Amino acid sequence: MRPSPFILGALVACGATACGSDDPGLDYDPDEDARVCIATGRGDTYVVGLERAGNGGKLDFKLMSANPAPPGFNDNTWVIQINSMAAGVVGDPAANATIRVTPFMPDHQHGTPIKATIEAMPEAGQYRLDPINMWMPGYWEITIDAQAGTVSDRVVYKFCIQA
């Protein structure tokens, strides 16, 4: 059975407004996404040095600091440490890495138009990412793609963002 054009139109209109509206007639509560995310334990628990092996096992990533801490609403500044990795063993700092940061909100299927700038820090393998813009409350996935020499890898940090 095919849905009626009226039902399809209502679904499209609802989906188009799902990311917020100033219309007081809509029941959408942007803070509800954050509450549900936290209640279900969906995001990472922020700690200094939150470590993740890259998806390919070639690089190791550590979130050394976040401002605000834990990561929060709107613009964030992170410092990450990237090291080489082989057979699960963390090696030397990954100096002169090329890094791309992609904040994405999978529940709403959008990211942010604001691009983070990457700055190498004095400590080998550390990089400042600013701003990481999470402009809406809810569940965010922050993908960090890094290439150090011929080695590339990616990691995803996941946070519940409150307004």
Give the CATH number, domain containing residue 90: 2.60.40.3340
pTM above 0.95, yes or no: no
SS3 sequence of the chain: CCCCHHHHHHHHHHHHHCCCCCCCCCCCCHHHHHHHHHHCCCCCCCCCCEEEECCCCCEEEEEEEEECCCCCCEEEEEEEEEEEEECCEEEEECCCCEEEEEEEECCCCEECCCCCEEEECCCCCEEEEEEEEECCCEEEEEEEEEEECCEEEEEEEEEEECC
Residue 135 lies in a domain: yes
| pLDDT tens-digit readout, 60-111 | 999 999 999 999 999 999 999 999 999 999 999 999 999 999 999 999 999 9
Residue 12 lies in a domain: no
- pLDDT value of residue 33: 87
Residue 13 lies in a domain: no
Confidence of residue 30 (pLDDT cuts 50, 70, 90): confident
